[in-house]
């Protein structure tokens, strides 16, 4: 049941993110007469400190978080999987070099490194994606390397190598299909982490810049009016909570379904 609700919320999030450009929204429309208006009437979720509709900005923020998550997870998964798979398969200097690079990245807390990179590069959605990708690829590389090390000695991989198959073909045809399940689960949890990181960086002013909307920047702007207009924080906070919870529940469900040991334990 919980997976059904989680999937429904994620589908809704995706549909909103895709449909926002075609919806009759006015997220930047200032109306002084509706400043800090509470939810109700024409303003379903109220208005912010300059009279902009919170609902419209919430929907635009959903699009922002969705596309940032897609770009960051997609790039991190691609780079990390390729680097980890090749290093694990080739071994030797390639493997030692990648492990050294990963250890350097892992020596710093991820969010602090992302904040430092975003601060050096400057605010903006493109720099935000680059900073989060530069931090996020390490987890996928470590997982891909560990999985390749555990499967590269299997018979069909050794047979392909004996038949003269090139390294790219062996990795793509014989290794990646075997390690795709844990990487998919890791990517699912990565979406939740990126959504939180994007909101956090936007809250600090290092992500999406005004007048563009982001859940993090909406929470930042609403904090000063928390006692008189709590809806400015509650609306984006609830959206962020529901999306992250749904993604994590989906990741737990995928992990249980793709885990062979779990499925064997559930079998009659």
Predicted local distance difference test score (pLDDT) of residue 3: 66
| Lookup: tokens for 118 | 């975003």
β-bridge partners, 47: 53
> Can you tell me the distance from the alpha carbon of 73 to that of 186, in angstroms, rounded to the nearest whole number?
10
Q: Mean pLDDT of residues grouped by 10 in the chain (268 residues)?
A: 77 92 87 86 84 92 94 95 89 88 84 83 86 91 90 82 82 85 91 93 86 90 90 93 92 78 47
DSSP symbols for 180-206 = HHHHHHHHHHHHHHHHHHHHHHHHTTS
Residue 55 neighbours by CB distance under 10 Å: 17
Nearest to 9 by CA among 192, 208, 202: 192
Predicted local distance difference test score (pLDDT) of residue 73: 95
> Can you tell me the distance from the alpha carbon of 38 to that of 36, in angstroms, rounded to the nearest whole number?
6
Predicted local distance difference test score (pLDDT) of residue 260: 55
DSSP symbols for 130-174 = HHHHHHHHHHHHHHHHHHHHHHTTSHHHHHHHHTT--HHHHIIII
For tokens 């997870």, the residue is 73
Which class in CATH covers the domain with range 12-20+43-261? mainly alpha
* Helix 176-203 with 54-90: angle, nearest 10 deg: 140
Predicted local distance difference test score (pLDDT) of residue 267: 45
The CA R_g of the chain, rounded to the nearest whole Å, is: 22
Predicted local distance difference test score (pLDDT) of residue 187: 93
Predicted local distance difference test score (pLDDT) of residue 62: 93
Ramachandran area for residue 25 (φ above 0: left; ψ -120 to 50: alpha; else beta): beta
Predicted local distance difference test score (pLDDT) of residue 259: 66
């Amino acid at each position: 049941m919980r997976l059904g609700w989680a999937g429904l919320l994620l589908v809704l999030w995706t549909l909103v993110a895709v449909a926002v450009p075609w919806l009759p929204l006015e997220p930047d429309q200032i109306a002084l007469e509706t400043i800090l208006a509470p939810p109700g009437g024409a303003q379903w979720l109220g208005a912010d400190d300059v009279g902009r509709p919170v609902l419209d900005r919430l929907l635009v923020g959903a699009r922002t978080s969705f596309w940032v998550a897609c770009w960051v997870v997609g790039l991190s998964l691609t780079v990390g999987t390729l680097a980890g798979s090749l290093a694990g398969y080739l071994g030797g200097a390639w493997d030692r070099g990648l492990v050294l690079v990963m250890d350097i990245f892992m020596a710093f807390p991820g969010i602090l490194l992302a904040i430092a990179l975003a601060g050096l590069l400057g605010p903006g959605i493109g720099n935000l994606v680059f900073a989060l990708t530069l931090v996020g690829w390490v987890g996928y590389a470590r997982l891909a390397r560990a999985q390749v090390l555990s499967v590269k000695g299997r018979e069909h991989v050794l047979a392909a190598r004996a038949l003269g198959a090139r390294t790219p073909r062996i990795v793509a045809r014989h290794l990646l299909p075997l390690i795709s399940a844990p990487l998919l689960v890791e990517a699912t949890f990565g979406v939740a982490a990126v959504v939180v990181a994007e909101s956090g960086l936007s809250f600090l002013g290092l992500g999406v810049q005004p007048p563009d909307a982001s859940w993090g920047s909406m929470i930042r702007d609403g904090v000063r009016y928390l006692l008189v207009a709590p809806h400015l924080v509650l609306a984006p906070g609830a959206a962020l909570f529901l999306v992250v919870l749904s993604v994590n529940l989906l990741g737990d469900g995928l992990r249980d379904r793709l885990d062979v040991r779990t499925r064997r334990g559930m079998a009659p």
